[in-house]
Structure 1
């Protein structure tokens, strides 16, 4: 007997795609800030956020997210943390 999973897998996939799109938009905004500030260390948060966006797209394509190992999720968490911490001075300092 085939199991009816309903719309839950589609909703999960759409949620991962929305999160990846938001991350990509943030990466573009951080690249804009980096370009205005003369690149240098200002590119670190943009690159980390772009890597997060790509990782989220790849994870969103998996049908069974339970097969995603904790190392991949830890990588995403570390990249998001590095991006946030490194972007803080860019956003708060004039």
Structure 2
């Protein structure tokens, strides 16, 4: 008996694409801020966010290989946490 999946695979693919695009846009904004501030400490959250975007691209392309493995999810969580923790002082310090 064949199961009718409907549009679910397409919606899942679109969700991965939107999330990856948002992460890439955030990484570009953070790289712009890092360039304006002289590539100092502001580089750390930009690199972490770019790594999240790349990881999301790889996970989106290879979901069938086990994208929900605990180690992979832990990697994404650590990268997001480092990016946010590194960006928080930059946001609180205000513009230069």
TM-score by length of 1: 0.90
- 1:68-83 pair list within 5 angstroms: 68=67, 69-83=69-83
Q: Partner residue of 1:9?
A: 9
Q: Partner residue of 1:18?
A: 18
State the 1:73 CA deviation.
Answer: 0.8
TM-score by length of 2: 0.88
Paired with 1:7 and 1:63, the residues of 2 have a C-alpha distance of 17
State the 1:58 CA deviation.
Answer: 1.1
Q: Partner residue of 1:54?
A: 54
Give unmatched runs, 5+ long, in structure 2.
none
Paired with 2:14 and 2:62, the residues of 1 have a C-alpha distance of 12
Paired with 2:63 and 2:51, the residues of 1 have a C-alpha distance of 21
Between the two proteins, the alignment pairs up a number of residues equal to 93
Give unmatched runs, 5+ long, in structure 1.
none
Deviations 1:61-86 (A, max 9, x none): 13437x22110111001100100010
More helix by share: 1
Could you list the structure 1 runs, at least 4 aligned residues long, displaced by more than 4 angstroms after superposition. Answer: none
Paired with 1:73 and 1:11, the residues of 2 have a C-alpha distance of 21
Paired residues of 1:31 and 1:43 also in contact (CA < 8 A): yes
RMSD of aligned C-alpha atoms?
1.4
